[in-house]
């Protein structure tokens, strides 16, 4: 399956594409995958006073991978670090975007990516 209506809709109205300054101490960055693997995902969060005030992403991957990471940016914005850690992104993604079982690994990758970005911020700020 290449896409469903929800995935297509995400692609058509997509937002939060872009990059933040990786050297900014308030930015947490997560990167995973590779071109050879067919999926390369990047997620960055900007944190001010323990709150994620912005999130930007880039994805090289299928429509499901793009939609998954995009949804992460929407879910993670305006959350505190603690709240952000507690969200089950994979679950939200597969349910609200009608992921077929063959594509759940994209949702899991997006979940891992969210944790990587949060962990990176925390490491930089000794949380």
The binder of other proteins chosen from 40, 87, 115, 122 (CB under 8 A): 40
Q: Which is nearer to other proteins, 51 or 77 (CB)?
A: 77
| 100 contributes a contact to other proteins by CB under 8 A | no
Q: Please select the residue that binds other proteins; options are 6, 26, 51, 62, rule is CB under 8 A.
A: 62
Q: Which is nearer to other proteins, 9 or 50 (CB)?
A: 9
Residue 37 binding other proteins, by CB under 8 A: no
Q: Angle at CA 87, nearest 5°, toward 15 and 94?
A: 65
Beta strands in the chain (DSSP E): 27-34, 39-48, 51-60
Which parts of 22-121 are beta strand (E)?
A: 27-34, 39-48, 51-60
Q: Which two tokens stand for residue 32?
A: 């995973």
Residue 8 makes contact with other proteins by CB under 8 A = yes
Residue 39 phi, psi (nearest 5): -145, 120
In contact, 68 and 93? CB cutoff 8 Å: yes
Instruction: Please pick, from the candidates 13, 23, 36, 49, the single residue that binds other proteins as defined by CB under 8 A.
Output: 36
Under rule CB under 8 A, residue 20 binds other proteins: no
| Residue from 6, 20, 26, 58 in contact with other proteins (CB under 8 A) | 58
Binding footprint of other proteins on the chain (CB under 8 A): 2-3, 7-8, 11, 14, 17, 31, 35-36, 38-42, 58-63, 65-66
């Amino acid at each position: 399956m290449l896409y469903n209506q929800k995935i297509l809709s995400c692609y058509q109205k997509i937002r939060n594409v872009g990059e933040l300054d990786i050297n900014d101490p308030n930015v947490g960055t997560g990167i995973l995958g590779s071109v050879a693997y067919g999926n390369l995902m990047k997620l960055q969060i900007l944190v001010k006073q323990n709150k994620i005030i912005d999130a930007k992403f880039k994805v090289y991957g299928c429509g499901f991978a793009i939609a998954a990471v995009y949804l992460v940016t929407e879910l993670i914005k305006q959350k505190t670090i603690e709240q952000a850690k507690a969200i089950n992104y994979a679950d939200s993604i597969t349910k609200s975007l009608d992921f077929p079982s063959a594509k759940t690994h994209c949702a899991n990758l997006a979940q891992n990516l969210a944790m990587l970005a949060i962990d990176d911020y925390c490491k930089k700020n000794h949380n």
